Amino acid sequence: MHEKTAILDSLKDRARAVYEAYNSIDGIECNPVQGSMYAFPRIEMPQKAIDKAKSLNQEADFFYAMELLENSGICVVPGSGFGQKPGTYHFRTTILPQGDVLHDMLERFNKFHNKFMKEYS
């Protein structure tokens, strides 16, 4: 029973860390993670990025996800694959990395996102 409690507490801590980290970034909004191992942050996508994605015949969130992967090594799933509301942009990310790995990923994400927003705003 102790092991189960420790695992669940660890997942709660990571869910809270992910939620707080994404909500601290300008242009990102994330609901609390509850009952899953994924977060679905919403991106306030700049029009310039939407236009760039269209010029490449891509959805804007797919373009964002590919830029994120290529520039930071972070892999997320574009929200367009989940039937998101038109005109909104999301991605799915996991809360499974532990400790320093999660912290490092969130720092790299923040750095990428700020650079992306600066480039496309």
Report the CATH number that the domain containing residue 16 is assigned in CATH. Answer: 3.90.1150.10
Confidence of residue 37 (pLDDT cuts 50, 70, 90): very high
Confidence of residue 93 (pLDDT cuts 50, 70, 90): very high
Confidence of residue 1 (pLDDT cuts 50, 70, 90): confident
What is the per-residue pLDDT for 99? 86
Confidence of residue 84 (pLDDT cuts 50, 70, 90): confident
Split into its structural domains, the chain has a count of 1
* CA atoms of 28 and 12, how far apart (whole Å): 21
Query: What value does the mean pLDDT of the chain take?
Result: 95
* CA atoms of 96 and 106, how far apart (whole Å): 12
Domain of 11 in residue numbering reads as 2-120
Confidence of residue 60 (pLDDT cuts 50, 70, 90): very high
Nearest Cα to Cα of residue 113 among 19, 15, 44 = 44
Q: Provide the 8-state DSSP code for 79.
A: G
Contacts of 3 (CB under 8 A, 6+ apart): none
pTM of the model: 0.93
